[in-house]
Amino acid sequence: MIRKLNYLWLLVFVSLSPVSFFGALSGIPTVYAWDQDCDFLPQGCGPVVPLTNFRVVDHDGTSIAEVRWDYMGTQRNYLVERKASSGTWTPIYFGTSTLYTDMDLPQGTYQYRGKNCNNLNECSGWSLSEEISVIGAPTQPAISYSGSLYIGDTFTFKYISEPAILEYTVERNGETIYVGPSESLEQALPVGRHDYRVKARNSVGTTDWSSNYITVRD
């Protein structure tokens, strides 16, 4: 009889715990004490310490972020939240895995935080990740020039794209004349028409070619 009363008391305690209440509101499933094997005693589950090595792994600016942390022992669940720029924290994961992959992030700045929770839904403090930036695909290079287009003179050929461009590829009259991060080239050309095209690359992808031509006069 006493064991049954203790069991009922524990059910009430867990059902009113903050994480259980959070799970009901957010739709993230809650793992209750009676789903685990700790003899329904908090001392049987070990201390609830913050997550260690909570981090975003090898993010390169794309729309996918992989968040990892250390395994904290049996009877553990992990709560992960995400914040965009100056926004509010949003729960995105609650479960037993030590890896969460965040998909389809729009361009912006993000940070993650995580908690370690035991089988009684008692949780540690937060562990924070570093901030990451999702940069988005590059824009088509905008081509322009400045300076004189007469024979013997030098003009500046310009091409600008964004964001976070790693390199441009520039072709003139069908031949590659430059590959690198510079957004302009100094040119001195013979009389006639000269056809240019430029493409830009960042860590997300590469643009199509942008084309234009320059006519050098006597």
Tell me the two tokens of residue 144.
């322009």
**Is 164 part of any domain?**
yes
* Sign of the torsion angle spanned by Cα atoms 35, 38, 40, 46: negative
154 in helix, strand or coil?
A: coil
According to DSSP, residue 34 is labeled: G
Domain final residue, candidates 103, 134, 165: 134
| Prediction pTM value | 0.61
Question: Contact, 149 vs 125, CB < 8 A?
Answer: no
* 124 shares a domain with 151: no
* 160 shares a domain with 90: no
* 42 shares a domain with 13: yes
Question: Contact, 171 vs 205, CB < 8 A?
Answer: no
Q: What is the pLDDT of residue 28?
A: 47
**Is 156 part of any domain?**
yes
* 97 shares a domain with 41: yes
Question: Contact, 162 vs 100, CB < 8 A?
Answer: no
CATH number at residue 122: 2.60.40.10
* 160 shares a domain with 87: no
Question: Contact, 40 vs 11, CB < 8 A?
Answer: no
**pLDDT one-digit tens code per residue, 18-30:** 444 344 444 444 4
* 211 shares a domain with 162: yes
Range of the domain at 159: 142-216
Closest C-alpha to 122, from 25, 55, 38 = 38
Secondary structure element (H or E) that encloses residue 23, with its range = helix 18-26
**pLDDT one-digit tens code per residue, 61-120:** 888 999 999 998 877 899 999 999 889 999 999 999 999 999 989 889 999 999 999 888
Q: Please list the residues that pair with 82 across neighbouring strands.
A: 90, 112
Question: Contact, 136 vs 203, CB < 8 A?
Answer: no
Residue 1 amino acid letter: M
Closest C-alpha to 57, from 49, 47, 68, 45 = 68
How many Å is the maximal CA-CA distance in the chain?
106
Q: Give yes or no for residue 13 having a pLDDT over 50.
A: no
